[in-house]
Amino acid sequence: MFNKILIANRGEIALRVIRACKEMGIRSVAVHSTADADAMHVRMADESVCIGPPSSMQSYLSIPNIISACEITGAEAIHPGYGFLSENANFVQIVQDHGLTFIGPTADHINMMGDKITAKDTMKRLGVPCVPGSLGGVATIEEAHAVSAEMGFPVIVKATAGGGGRGMKVAKTVDDLDEAFSTARSESKAAFGNDEVYIEKYLTLPRHIEIQVFGDGKGRAVHLGERDCSLQRRHQKVLEECPSPAIDAETRARIGKTCADAVAAINYAGAGTIEFLYENDEFYFIEMNTRLQVEHPVTEAVFGVDLVREQILVASGEPMSFVQEELAPNGHSIECRINAEKLPEFRPSPGKISQFHAPGGLGVRMDSHLYDGYKIPPYYDSLIAKLIVHAPDRASAIARLRRALGEMIVDGIDTTTPLHNALLQEPDILSGDYDIHWLEKWLETYS
Ligand code: ADP
């Protein structure tokens, strides 16, 4: 087992990893930009190293600075959290070249899943159901017309190198295709330096269902059920739950096994998430994330596991601590992502927290780096807290979430808490009847 782990991240996820390290008796090293000198992850870690100025490019994304921080502190392994360098295969290679351990999958697996066409081809070969679409990249507008005509409209043009919802354009009819194709290509070129795109059938009313998988890197893998992340704004998840109100035990076991078998077949190591759109009882693979997800706590609550501990165990060469037969869902969990943003425009609202009170009580988990007097810097993601509840069933989880949101105090800045309060009054949310477009439509009337 490692003696010391460096966490190449900030905010709540850095705290999450430091907490796991403490429970495992491992020393933790925080890295921070000058803007984060007073951050909670710096205070909570055993040691900390300043790795640069506020700009992420020069700090949290600076590979030389992070490797130097490992060398200075003697950390043997790096946990990347999510975002930043977590899915950067080049970083993983450099970490290994320096004799350090990356807590996550191999560079090859990150590359395989980072390129969406390769990811889709691989999943198809492994028996995972995919969205109907072009075979590989679509290079010319003539080819785009041919592929779309054969599939039928609407279609979606997507960047091969895509991420964060960029380089994606819907063509409702043939008349939209020329523009969708050229916009997706130019957006992709600007964002990723690569203008290759592919075309998929556009699903009109799907849910976003993702399967948590975990592999030991030696051909053994399990699944830990699904998360429903259909409530999205601009492709950003807002509220997530486990289990999905739309999935029954038989369906879960079936798609779960398909996913676990697929990652076992490629000797995948560590935590991963296979994302699907789900419509008319069918699953359609869209992408695999080769890292811990923001919403992992709902799975932890329902399956009674510590996914970060498990990541560390497997990265250090130990076996996984569970087998599939031991993993049974228990109760219901919901997570609200609370952002420092002013509604209704969702405008970033950084600034000083004058008063902070975290909710507590039975079945309540608050993952947040806030404290009284903390100054939220304007440079990073606006996520300030994840409020997670766990209860025996969905109705009691909703009641618990309302109660916990009512206890929470974050004064001094604007947050998205009122949005969550409002959502928890909506009949469609209470009945679980929503798809990936529900929130955007609802927001048109919300003010
Ligand atoms: P990114 O990596 O940019 O997040 P994804 O492939 O994960 O891109 O897609 C992000 C979101 O875009 C999905 O959650 C869904 O809302 C929408 N989307 C992607 N592909 C399709 C499709 N074929 N039909 C309908 N919606 C889609």
Ligand 1 atom with least separation from CA of 165: 3
Confidence of residue 237 (pLDDT cuts 50, 70, 90): very high
Grouping H, G, I as helix, E, B as strand and the rest as coil, residue 309 is helix
Per-residue confidence (pLDDT) for residue 374, from 0 to 100: 98
Distance 286 CA to ligand 1 centre (A): 7
Does domain 4-86 sit in CATH 3.40.1280.10?
no
Q: Up-side HSE of residue 230: CA atoms within 13 Å toward CB?
A: 27
Predicted TM-score (pTM) of the model is 0.95
Superfamily of domain 207-443: ATP-grasp fold, B domain (3.30.470.20)
- Cβ of 237 closer than 6 Å to ligand 1, yes or no, is no
Q: How far apart are CA 46 and CA 66, in angstroms?
A: 17
When computed from its CA atoms, the radius of gyration of the chain, rounded to whole angstroms, is 21
Q: In this predicted structure, what is the pLDDT of residue 165? A: 76
Contacts with 152 (C-beta within 8 Å, 6 or more apart), sequence order: 201
**What's residue 162's pLDDT?**
83
**Cα angle value 143/145/147 (rounded, 5°):** 70
- pLDDT number for residue 323: 97
Question: 321-346: buried (b, 16+ CB within 10 Å) or exposed (e) per residue?
Answer: eeeeeebebebbbbbbbbbbbebeeb
Ligand 1 atom nearest to CA at 168 = 3
Q: Which atom of ligand 1 is nearest to the CA of 286?
A: 6
In the chain, the percentage of residues whose pLDDT exceeds 70 is 100
Distance CA 30, CA 66 (A): 10
pLDDT per position as a tens digit, 159-204: 998 877 788 999 999 999 999 999 999 999 998 889 999 999 999 9
Q: State the Cα–Cα distance between residues 327 and 322, nearest whole angstrom.
A: 7
Show the beta-strand stretches assigned E in 314-357: 332-339, 341-342, 347-348, 351-352, 355-357
Distance 48 CA to ligand 1 centre (A): 38
Q: Is 275 in the pocket of ligand 1 (CB under 6 A)?
A: yes
291 given a catalytic annotation = yes
Q: Is 159 in the pocket of ligand 1 (CB under 6 A)?
A: no
Report pLDDT for 426.
98
**116 CA closest ligand 1 atom index:** 6
- Ligand 1 centroid – CA 205 distance (Å): 12
pLDDT at residue number 235 = 86
Identified catalytic residue from 207, 227, 252, 291: 291
Q: Separation of 324 CA from ligand 1 center, angstroms?
A: 29
The verdict on the CB of residue 119 being under 6 Å from ligand 1 is no
Nearest CA to ligand 1 atom 8: 165
| Phi, psi values for residue 12, rounded to 5° | -65, -35
Q: Is 16 in the pocket of ligand 1 (CB under 6 A)?
A: no
CA 218 to chain centre: 24
Torsion of CA 107, 108, 113, 118, to 10 degrees: 150
* d(C-alpha 360, C-alpha 346), whole Å: 27
Q: Nearest 5°: phi and psi at 239?
A: -145, 135
The values of phi and psi at residue 444, to 5°, are -60, -25
Tell me the pLDDT band of 149, cut-offs 50, 70 and 90: very high
pLDDT of residue 167: 86
Q: Is the pLDDT of residue 447 over 80?
A: no
pLDDT at position 305: 98
The mean pLDDT of the chain is: 96
135: pLDDT confidence band, cut at 50, 70 and 90? confident
Mean pLDDT calculated for residue range 343-350: 96
Q: Which of 255, 252, 238 is nearest to 421 (CA)?
A: 238
Q: Is the pLDDT of residue 316 over 90?
A: yes
Residue 164: per-residue pLDDT: 75
Q: Which two tokens stand for residue 225?
A: 């059920």
Segment 379-412, tens digit of pLDDT: 999 999 999 999 999 999 999 999 999 999 999 9
Average the pLDDT over 74-82 and give the result. Answer: 98
DSSP three-state, residue 3: coil
| Token pair in block for residue 387 | 């409020």
Is residue 77 within 8 A of residue 92, CB to CB? The reply is no
Q: In the 8-state DSSP scheme, what is residue 83?
A: S
Please say whether the structural domain 132-201 has been given the CATH code 3.90.79.10. Answer: no
3-state secondary structure of 154: coil
φ, ψ of residue 254 in degrees (nearest 5): -70, -55
CA of 67 to the centre of ligand 1 (A): 34
Tell me the average pLDDT across 413-427: 98
User: Which atom of ligand 1 approaches the CA of 167 most closely?
Assistant: 3
Is any atom of ligand 1 closer than 6 Å to the C-beta of 161? no
Q: How far apart are CA 7 and CA 225, in angstroms?
A: 27
pLDDT value at 232 more than 80: yes
Domains 132-201 and 207-443 share a fold: no
Going by C-alpha positions, the residue among 99, 93, 101, 77 that lies closest to residue 27 is 77
Residue 131 pLDDT exceeds 80: yes
Q: What residue ranges do the domains of the chain occupy?
A: 4-86, 132-201, 207-443
Mean pLDDT over 113-140 rounds to 94
The residue whose CA is least distant from atom 10 of ligand 1 is: 165
